[in-house]
Amino acid sequence: MKERVVLGFDWFVLPFSIAMSFILIYIIYSVYKIFKSLSSNERRLVLSHIFSFEIFTTIWIIIKDTLLHVKIFKKNFWLGYMHSSIAFGWFMLIFIGHIEVMLYTPHRTAFIYYPVFFRYFVMEVEQTLRGGFFFFMMDLFLLIVLSGLVLAIVKRFNSKAVGMKRTTKLPLTDKIAMFSLWAIFPLRLLAESFTANISGGSFLTKGINSLLSGYVNYNSLLVPAWWGYSISLAIFLFVLPFSRYMHIPTEAFLILLRRSGVISRSYKGGYADAELFSCSSCGICIDVCPMSFTGDKYKSTSAYIIKNLRFKQNQTNLSLVDDCLMCGKCVEACPVEIDSTRLKLLYKQSKRNLNSSKLELPESKIVDKNNSILDSKKRYDIIYYSGCMTKLTPSIYRSFESVMTKAGIEYLHIDKEETLCCGRPLLLSGDIERFKDIVRANSEIILSKSPKTLIVSCPICLKMFREEYSMDNIEIVHHSQYMLNLIISKKIEVKKSSLEVVYHDPCELGRGLKIYDQPRELISKLANLNEAKQSKSMSICCGASLASTHLTTIQKDEIAYNSLENLKNGKELALITSCPLCYKTFSQVNSGPTMDIAQLVNNNL
Amino acid sequence: MDFGYNIIKIKTVDLDRIDKSLYNRVVFVAPDINKCIACGSCSASCSVSFYNSNSSFRKALVAIERDDITGIKESLSSCVLCGKCSLVCPRGINTRGVIIAIKDLLKEEAL
């Protein structure tokens, strides 16, 4: 291997070199900016993480997620192959390119463009096994990248072919970046093939070279091909910071931050910026979003909201964010694990609490009347909080009360008459001040009884009590968990019926609190449990979620029908829920029987 | 001088003279409210009515039609957005959307 160009320079390297220097400076600057906007405590977390043994696990996760895309492979083989072939293939091209330079032209290692245009600058003087091996590897990875590229192009024009119902619509910058990305590798193939009779090559480049040698005059096309390759790279790198491809450099940094234990505190700046930049607009969240079944609401899905938050922060996105059901399915499905529901919540809170001091609504006096529960001095070990939604579906708390009576347990139904909301809807709408009022009032009422166990029928309240209230030393359980314990400890006896049932995982109980198995265990003691098409972390929200304040009743019904179809899957099944809100929604659209888990237990006593 | 009774404040509303701009803006954001038949199911199911008997979605709609800002504030100040009213509404009005729209508009006016 010998250098062909004496100075190791040709004018066509300029576009690439300038773009590469620009992007390196930009990345260093934005990493510095994100790092600077972290609080000092978070910075300490990150630094201590970097200098601990944990960092090796993090590096492995970074390789697994950003290069091999194991997570996407698990979800959809073709999508996984597409991403990992381009990402891993390209990385290997760069990596092996550098090794080649170090081995054959070590005095050029400092040249930023040398590994990229290596084959232009060298000529093959003798064929060696080592050289043949590197050429083969380069051609192999180029082929892998090209195969991924073909899939990407197919996906763009016909996303159904790779198993996606919908893919994202792209703005202009993304389109420019995408087309230049598509051009890079075919141009590289052409440039290397045209040079293959001088520099040498392997099965791909050499093959094309000898195939076309009769028809094409290499001498005249050689330099233009390299120019094209350099220019397409330059366009891609220049547009990168303003396009979705910014996820390529950011994702590794995001994983490092997440593994250090940093979370977003605002919808912009710091960790949130790392999350927004890491979104590749792949559109996986669009397909899983319950709203995408309503037709025109796909613009409110996470991919688009993240795009709006990143590029159009000044525009009002509140109505888009208010559509979201916050069911958390997009977070479960996201290959980058962007906590988009948290970002949306922070966005709502910052917009709704903005200038709240000037708000003319009077100070909330939610509890200006004395609660009779506070007046009585009797203490209870077990308290049952049914939640306001259960008041609309009294059969749930009546069934549970009947179970408790049969088990002979003394308890207090604390909000039977004087009901007060848990505060979740206010929190979700972004009104933190008034939410805190409710938390104070509820905590006072519940703690005045100094209970040991708090049983909650509503997963929404359960999530609030566990995460937002400070109720130390109180065991907070869902009524399904409590009834399962009653059966296990033989306080009640149940018989198994021959009823065929399917269980719906409520968003807050399942994805929210990761309680999947206990309700299933309880149901399988009472009836024959069937699994829905998409269940557990992929279960579909019933559509009545309290987070969405903007969807119309008709759109919510559409979501409910779609969710029901997924659950019953064309079979005659009784539907079991463990959330009063899901129960209320499904009983309105379900032609067959709908039951809460408490009713099922009560029926089989 | 206290006679043990007094004359009640006149509550006449001159429908020709009231300013409908706020109402129209709410209708623009949340056209749902035109569907209301004032049945009162929302008020009957209200979570906070035990603590604040003025809390009522129906009253708020009447107040906003009559441009009665104090009436709106009284009836919505305790709202916890629990959404029971939207579940019982026979007309399928997205009550929480209307309430948030009214609050956002009032906030804008206050600025």
DSSP H or E run through A122: strand A122-123
Residues of chain A with CATH 1.20.950: 2-245
Is residue B13 in some structural domain?
A: no
Instruction: Grade residue A210 by pLDDT with cuts at 50, 70 and 90.
Output: confident
Domain with CATH 1.10.1060.10 in chain A: 249-350
Using CA coordinates, name the residue in chain A closest to B73.
Answer: A361
Name the band, by pLDDT with cuts 50, 70 and 90, for residue A374: low
CA pair distance A381, A450, nearest whole angstrom: 7
Query: Between A423, A431, A553, which is nearest B92 by CB?
Result: A553
B4 within some domain? no
User: Which chain B residues are Cβ-neighbours of A552 within 8 angstroms?
Assistant: 32, 92, 94, 97
Tens-digit pLDDT profile for residues A428-439 = 888 887 788 788
Nearest Cα to A545, choosing from A326, A360, A350?
A326
Tokens of A39: 């609080």
pLDDT in the model for residue A576: 93
CB nearest to B73's CB, from A361, A421, A431:
A361
pLDDT at A359: 33
Task: Report the residue of chain A nearest B52, measured CA to CA.
Answer: A366
Q: Going edge to edge, which strands form the sheet with A500-503?
A: A528-530, A500-503, A574-577, A594-596
Structural domain for B52, as ranges:
21-110
Say which residues have a Cβ less than 8 Å from residue A444's Cβ, sequence separation at least 6. Answer: A374
Residue A315: the pLDDT is 67
Span A555-599, pLDDT tens digits: 888 999 999 999 988 888 999 999 999 999 999 899 889 999 999
List, in order, residues 6 or more apart from A524 with CB less than 8 Å away.
Answer: none
B7 within some domain: no
Distance CA A331, CA A346 (A): 15
Interval A283-300: pLDDT, tens: 888 888 988 887 777 788
Q: CA A566 to CA A332: how far, in whole Å?
A: 18
Let me know if domain A372-486 sits in CATH 3.30.2310. Answer: no
CATH 1.10.1060.10 fits A249-350, yes or no: yes
Residue with tokens 């529901």: A341
pLDDT above 90 as % of chain B: 13
Contact A245, A280 (CB under 8 A): yes
Tell me the pLDDT tens digit for each residue of A136-147.
999 999 999 999
Residues of chain A in contact with residue B57, where contact means CB-CB under 8 angstroms, are: none
Please answer yes or no on whether A546 and B45 come within 8 Å at the CB atom: no
Q: With cut-offs at 50, 70 and 90, classify the pLDDT of residue A76.
A: confident
- Count Cβ–Cβ pairs < 8 Å, chain A vs chain B: 104
User: Which residue of chain A has the CA closest to B93?
Assistant: A553
> E strand or H helix at A412, and its extent?
strand A412-413
CA–CA dist A458, A11 (Å, integer)? 69
Question: CB distance A553–B93 less than 8 Å?
Answer: yes
Q: What is the DSSP string of A156-224?
A: HH-GGGGT-S------HHHHHHHHHHHHHHHHHHHHHHHHHHHH---HHHHHHHHHHTTT--HHHHHHH
User: pLDDT confidence of B12, banded at 50, 70, 90?
Assistant: confident
Report the chain A residue with the minimal C-alpha distance to residue B107: A359
Inter-chain contact A426–B111, Cβ cutoff 8 Å? Answer: no
pLDDT at B111 (0 to 100)? 62
Reported ipTM: the value is 0.85
A360-377: average pLDDT: 53
Structure tokens at A198: 């001088």
User: Over chain A, what is the mean pLDDT?
Assistant: 87
Name the band, by pLDDT with cuts 50, 70 and 90, for residue A364.
Answer: very low
Q: Which fold has domain A2-245?
A: Fumarate Reductase Cytochrome B subunit (1.20.950)
Q: How far is B32 from chain A (nearest CA, A)?
A: 9
In chain A, ranges of CATH 3.40.50 domains: 372-486, 495-603
Contacts of A547 in chain B (CB under 8 A): none
Residue B15 forms part of a structural domain:
no
Contact criterion met (CB < 8 Å) for B84 and A392 = yes
pLDDT band at residue A353 under the 50/70/90 scheme: low
CATH architecture entry for A495-603 = 3-Layer(aba) Sandwich (3.40)
Contact B111 A425 (CB under 8 A): no
pLDDT(A357) > 60: no
Q: Say which DSSP state A492 is in.
A: S
* Spatial separation of the C-alpha atoms in residues A457 and A454, rounded to whole Å: 10
pLDDT band at A158 (very low <50, low <70, confident <90, very high): confident
Tally of structural domains, chain B: 1
DSSP state, A154? H
Per-residue model confidence as pLDDT tens digits over A380-426: 899 999 888 898 899 999 999 999 999 999 998 888 877 778 888 88
Q: A54, A589, A562: which is closest to A325 by C-alpha? A: A562
From the list B26, B91, B104, the residue with the least C-alpha distance to A322 is B104
Minimum distance, in Å, between the CA of residue B39 and any CA atom of chain A: 17
Question: Which residues lie closer than 8 Å to A224 by C-beta, 6 or more apart?
Answer: none
Is there a domain that residue B66 lies in? yes
Is the CB of residue A1 less than 8 Å from the CB of residue A198? no
Which pLDDT score is estimated for A217?
82
Q: Is residue B1 part of a domain?
A: no
Q: Is residue B44 part of a domain?
A: yes
- Inspect the interface and report whether the beta carbons of A360 and B110 lie closer than 8 Å: yes
Q: Is the pLDDT of residue B98 over 50?
A: yes
In A, what residues contact B, Cβ < 8 A?
318, 322, 352, 355, 358-362, 364-369, 388-389, 391-392, 417-421, 423, 425-426, 429, 431, 434, 438, 544, 546, 549-554, 584
Are B33 and B101 in contact by the 8 Å Cβ rule? The answer is no
pLDDT band, very low/low/confident/very high, at A266 (cuts 50, 70, 90): confident
Tens-place pLDDT, residues B41-60: 999 988 888 777 788 899 89
Long-range contacts at A349-358 (CB < 8 A, ≥ 24 apart): A349/A430, A349/A432, A350/A266, A350/A267, A350/A430, A351/A316, A351/A318, A351/A430, A352/A429, A352/A430, A352/A431, A352/B104, A353/A430, A353/A431, A353/A432, A353/A433, A355/B107, A355/B111, A356/A433, A358/B107, A358/B110, A358/B111
CB contact under 8 A, A358 and B110: yes
**For A422-447, b where at least 16 C-beta lie within 10 A, e where not — what string?**
bbbbbbbbbbbebbebbbebbeebbe
When pLDDT is averaged across residues A363-380 and rounded to a whole number, the result is 61
A421–B47: do the CB atoms touch at under 8 Å? Answer: yes
What's B62's domain CATH number? 1.10.1060.10
**Per-residue pLDDT, A316:** 62
SS3 at position A478: strand
